Amino acid sequence: MAQGPEEHMSSCPRVDGCPLFKQFSLKSSLAVWRCFYCEGDFARCERWKLASANLQVPLNLLPNGRRLDVPLEHLEPHHMA
Domain ranges of the chain: 15-62
Neighbouring C-beta atoms of residue 5, cutoff 10 Å? 5
- The better pLDDT of the pair 60, 46 is held by 46
60, 72 Cβ separation under 8 angstroms: yes
- The H-or-E segment that residue 23 falls in is helix 19-26
| pLDDT beyond 50 at 4 | no
Task: Dump pLDDT digits (tens) for 40-58.
Answer: 889 999 999 999 999 999 8
pTM as predicted: 0.61
Paired with 67 in beta bridges are 61
Share of the chain above pLDDT 90, in %: 23
Cα gap 24→45, rounded to integer Å: 14
